[in-house]
Amino acid sequence: MSLAKLENNKLKIGIVGAGPAGSMSAYFLASQGHAVTLFERKKEVERKVCGEYLCPEGVRLLEELNLFDRLCAGFEELNGMVLVSPTNISIPSYFPQTDKKKVNKGLSLNRKIFDQRLLGLALETGAVLLKDTTVTRVVQNTNQKWTVIANEENYEFDLLIAADGRQSKIGHTLKHLKFIDTKRAAIHCYLSRKVDRGQRLGEMHILNENRYCGLDPISDDEVNFSVVCDSKRLKKNTPQNIINEVLASSIRLNQMFDPVDDNTEIKVVTSLKNKNLYIAGNGLAYVGDAAGFIDPLTGEGIYNALLTSKLLKESIEQSENMNHALALYKRKKNNLSFQKNILNNFFQFLIKRPLLVNLTAVFLKKSQKRANHFIGIIGNIHGPLTGFIKMLKA
Ligand SMILES: Cc1cc2nc3c(=O)[nH]c(=O)nc-3n(C[C@H](O)[C@H](O)[C@H](O)COP(=O)(O)OP(=O)(O)OC[C@H]3O[C@@H](n4cnc5c(N)ncnc54)[C@H](O)[C@@H]3O)c2cc1C
């Protein structure tokens, strides 16, 4: 199918899922003049379970697209992260500067507001939203087009984009997605701080017993708090107990927060990893978490959702036919994932070994620059390999 030829007719594109990946793709492709339909199973945009941290590269991407002010007005900046080891070695670290004129910053988002704004942008550009509409089946026809079945209606598209999240039904039914049981769960809630918030820093605590927790100070009285732990713990313990156990186990957390009570809304999510073995081809492309999701340790899922959408849009722009566009997108996406997967596996290896984490903390504590480069890797400011070289040289 020639895209050049279709430039006059325009492609009919169906996107399943109106999270950051689906809405961003809808915005890009509707801006190119294609006829975009977005399917979203929820009635309204919800505040999803998420650390709500946008990494500095994500901020830079939105600035480059001139969308930062529109999407991020009112959200607070983050200057870096405090890293805390199992023996309570605490290392305040700041996103390293790569450009003399510009300071790298992350952001504390409110996901409901961010996702709503992004969806609004897609709709303004001409995408059509079918909300409260669950896609139950997708079928490829003999003419290579895709039929999407939702609420007992059939819709036909030239290109189908699966942006239906880390438990992608499309990926699952087409057998493109491999779910990896990490045997881990994330327990999430919002806490208010007892003490002054001080500098604008997120926090990452590596705890004993294969657990870690992340803190993102959304506002003065709302700290986004999540603990990732072995899912077996939930068989013996309530989520509330697990959070209180974590708060009590750390001097720093104990000083910051009171124990949670029954009034605190706590959510639990499991299935924290998937691998997409297909990515794109045959009139179908996966973006965002549906194209592959790793444990949320380094908090870059939103950036990844925005970036994969941009890569797909660019691949379409640069290609003369659909097969070429999807092959190009697949190559770009695979290049992106390669180093990140190695890095993530390394972090997962590390957090299971508290002794190694403590040694790493001692190594980072010796040089502020070294610690800064370390969170430069986490913030996607440095590629993993470049970042490690910078850390070793610091
Ligand atoms: C505990 C935890 C903490 C995290 N913390 C961070 C963080 O701090 N920073 C960060 O960047 N990332 C974080 N992430 C990851 C981030 O939340 C995701 O990467 C991001 O939401 C991916 O966006 P998406 O659009 O691909 O998927 P989603 O946001 O999951 O959107 C998918 C959409 O598809 C819809 N949908 C699904 N199936 C269907 C269907 N059959 N029909 C119609 N609609 C459907 C869903 O309702 C949903 O709206 C975290 C994730 C977890 C689990």
DSSP string, 75-136: PEEE-EEEEE-TT--EEEEEPPP-BTTB---EEE--HHHHHHHHHHHHHHTT-EEEES--EE
**What is the domain extent for residue 213?**
184-269
User: Distance between CA atoms of 108 and 218, rounded to whole angstroms?
Assistant: 5
User: Distance between CA atoms of 135 and 149, rounded to whole angstroms?
Assistant: 6
Task: Tell me, using a 6 A CB cutoff, whether residue 203 lines ligand 1.
Answer: no
Shared domain check, 285 and 255: no
Q: What is the pLDDT of residue 222?
A: 93
Q: What is the pLDDT of residue 11?
A: 92
User: Distance between CA atoms of 184 and 205, rounded to whole angstroms?
Assistant: 16
Task: Tell me, using a 6 A CB cutoff, whether residue 131 lines ligand 1.
Answer: no
Task: Tell me, using a 6 A CB cutoff, whether residue 28 lines ligand 1.
Answer: no
Quick check: is 168 in a domain? yes
Quick check: is 359 in a domain? no
Q: How many domains does the chain have?
A: 2
Structure tokens at 88: 């309570």
Task: Tell me, using a 6 A CB cutoff, whether residue 121 lines ligand 1.
Answer: no
Residue ranges, the chain, pLDDT below 70: 1-9, 196-197, 271-272, 296-297
Shared domain check, 174 and 121: yes
Shared domain check, 175 and 39: yes
Quick check: is 353 in a domain? no
Return the ligand 1 atom nearest residue 300 CA: 11
- Strand ranges across the sheet with 35-40: 128-131, 35-40, 12-16, 159-162, 284-286, 280-281
Shared domain check, 340 and 304: yes
Q: Which sign does the torsion angle of CA 370, 373, 378, 382 carry?
A: negative
Quick check: is 370 in a domain? no
Task: Tell me, using a 6 A CB cutoff, whether residue 40 lines ligand 1.
Answer: yes
Quick check: is 392 in a domain? no
User: Distance between CA atoms of 20 and 22, rounded to whole angstroms?
Assistant: 6
Q: Which of 43, 111, 114, 164 has the most ligand 1 atoms within 8 A of CB, as the residue to mutate?
A: 164
| In contact, 166 and 294? CB cutoff 8 Å | no
User: Distance between CA atoms of 386 and 176, rounded to whole angstroms?
Assistant: 32
Shared domain check, 263 and 279: no
Any idea which residue has 């009285």 for tokens?
Answer: 221
Quickly list H helices, the chain.
3-9, 20-31, 56-64, 68-72, 111-124, 169-173, 233-236, 239-249, 251-256, 301-318, 322-351, 354-365, 368-378, 384-393
Q: What is the pLDDT of residue 91?
A: 95
Shared domain check, 284 and 224: no
Q: What is the pLDDT of residue 379?
A: 82
Of the candidates 272, 297, 184, the residue with the CA atom closest to the CA atom of residue 230: 184
Q: What is the pLDDT of residue 299?
A: 80
The 3-state DSSP class for residue 383 equals: coil
How many angstroms separate the alpha carbon of residue 11 from the centre of ligand 1? 26
Count Cα neighbours of 245 within 13 Å in the Cβ-side half-sphere. Answer: 17
Beta-carbon count within 10 A of 10 CB:
15
Residue ending a domain, among 204, 236, 269, is 269
Q: What residue's CA is closest to ligand 1, atom 16? A: 301
Task: Tell me, using a 6 A CB cutoff, whether residue 50 lines ligand 1.
Answer: yes
The CATH number of residue 13's host domain is 3.50.50.60
Q: What is the pLDDT of residue 221?
A: 83
Q: What residue's CA is closest to ligand 1, atom 53? A: 50
Shared domain check, 308 and 278: yes
**β 12-16/35-40 pair status:** parallel
- Give per-residue burial for 82-108: e unless 16+ CB within 10 Å, then b: bbbbbeeeebbbbbbeeeeeeebbbbb
Residue ending a domain, among 269, 299, 324, is 269
Task: Tell me, using a 6 A CB cutoff, whether residue 163 lines ligand 1.
Answer: yes
Q: What is the pLDDT of residue 5?
A: 47
How many angstroms separate the alpha carbon of residue 166 from the centre of ligand 1? 7
Shared domain check, 302 and 244: no
